[in-house]
A = this chain, B = another copy of it.
Amino acid sequence: MSSTLPRTMTAIRKLHNQPGLWLQEDTPVPGIGPRDVLVAVTHAGICGTDRHIYEWDAWSRSRVVVGITTGHEFVGRVVAVGSAVTRATVGQRVSAEGHIGCGVCQPCRTGNAHICEKVDILGIDTNGCFAEYVAVPEENVWPVNPDIPDHIAAIFDPLGNAMHTVMAAGVSGRSVLITGVGIIGLMAVTISRAAGAGKILVADVSPRRLELAKRLGADVAFDSRDENWSQRARAETHDQGPEVFLEMSGNAKAIRQGFAALRNGGTAALLGLPAEPVALDLPNDIIFKGATVLGINGRKMFETWYQVENFLLSGRLQLDQIVTHRLPLADFERGFKLMQAGEAIKVVLEVSGSRFQVSSCEAAAVAR
């Protein structure tokens, strides 16, 4: 193994305190601790979060350490395992959960590590997967079913966000409103349809995304710049409003209009992140409605992952129209530009490498 696992690799890194990301060819291959595994990445998805880091917005500047390798959505093969690893094996094709829990807090110890207060996130707090190799804790590894293709396995992370939101809210036999049909909103449309939703309503500012949402199963699309779409949403649902409201825009106005539309007794699941505080009319939006509002963060570890696998294998999800571009890792800038131009929905980067040859024992030896 020492002959086959290189000491350096290509990685996309935040090298400077300014907008942009940089490809660096001589990045050290990450070391692994006794409970970690090293994965040779084959495909990685570009997330909206990566775009924030690329554009170096206020949030990124306050959170991300300069020097980090970015990226957190990927699939690849295990090439080395730490000395105390018992549950992963070299050669496994895996994705991984990007939320790394502390393991000792109440959420971590009760199956809710996705809301650990001290969570580290791959590609934000630790070196990520826009690279030939990435190290992750054994507990975060997810073996990928062989019937699931690479470009889909690479986006389990955002698909899991959408799945968690839809499943937490519960859409079967209920009408659904989705505000914001970007990547995750569109995924939520196809998942909701597959999960037995009744009428699906969507609202967004982009006619193009609304059109795609309809192709994926939305029944009614509203231009959210229309002041009255909230009333129209009620009119479309027996004048009582949708029973479920999935918020994926992070836009304050959309949030308020979504709550205004929501049926009494309905469920709102909030995933989108507003940049500023949002003034809510609590009595009318939530209290008198007897509404249930769910904050959605990450993916349930690993209940959501099992759901994603089961939905994918049932063949009901339409994801091919969502993965609009597949580019070589070195072309990452084109990916970001396509996203900025609104031409791409989800971009998957392909890591050509495949330079690795693995054997279990040596891998462990080298991995130190």
Contacts and interface: CB of A to CB of B under 8 A. Distances in A.
A279 B282 contact: no
Interface in A285-302: 286-297, 300-302
Interface string A297-321: 1001111001111110110100000
Contact of A287 (B238, B290, B295): B295
A288 B115 contact: yes
Interface residues of A, number: 77
Contacts of A175: 310
A111 B163 CA distance: 18
Given A84-B35, A295-B288, A110 B111 contact: yes
Interface in A200-244: 238, 240
A106 to B, nearest CB: 6
Interface in A323-356: none
A112 B111 contact: yes
A173 B264 contact: no
A273 to B, nearest CB: 5
A281 interface: yes
Contacts of A107: 264-265, 290
A215 to B, nearest CB: 16
A309 to B, nearest CB: 8
B264 A115 contact: yes
A86 B102 CA distance: 10
Given A280-B280, A314-B196, A110 B303 contact: yes
A290 B295 contact: yes
A149 interface: no
Interface in A80-139: 82-84, 86-87, 103-107, 109-112, 114-117
A172 B199 contact: no
Contacts of A197: 310, 314
Copies in the complex: 4
Contact of A297 (B82, B194, B290): B290
A279 B281 contact: no
Contacts of A87: 103-104
Contacts of A105: 240
Nearest to A275: B283
Contacts of A112: 111, 264-265, 290
Nearest to A285: B295
A163 B277 CA distance: 31
Contact of A270 (B198, B278, B286, B303): B286
Contact of A263 (B106, B238, B300): B106
Given A111-B111, A117-B240, A195 B167 contact: no
B103 A314 contact: no
Interface of A: 33-35, 82-84, 86-87, 103-107, 109-112, 114-117, 163, 167, 171-175, 191, 194-199, 238, 240, 255, 263-265, 270-271, 273-274, 277-283, 286-297, 300-303, 306-311, 313-314, 316
22 contacts: A110-B306, A114-B290, A115-B265, A115-B288, A115-B289, A172-B196, A173-B195, A173-B308, A191-B196, A195-B196, A197-B314, A198-B314, A274-B283, A277-B279, A278-B282, A288-B297, A289-B295, A289-B297, A290-B294, A290-B295, A292-B294, A293-B295
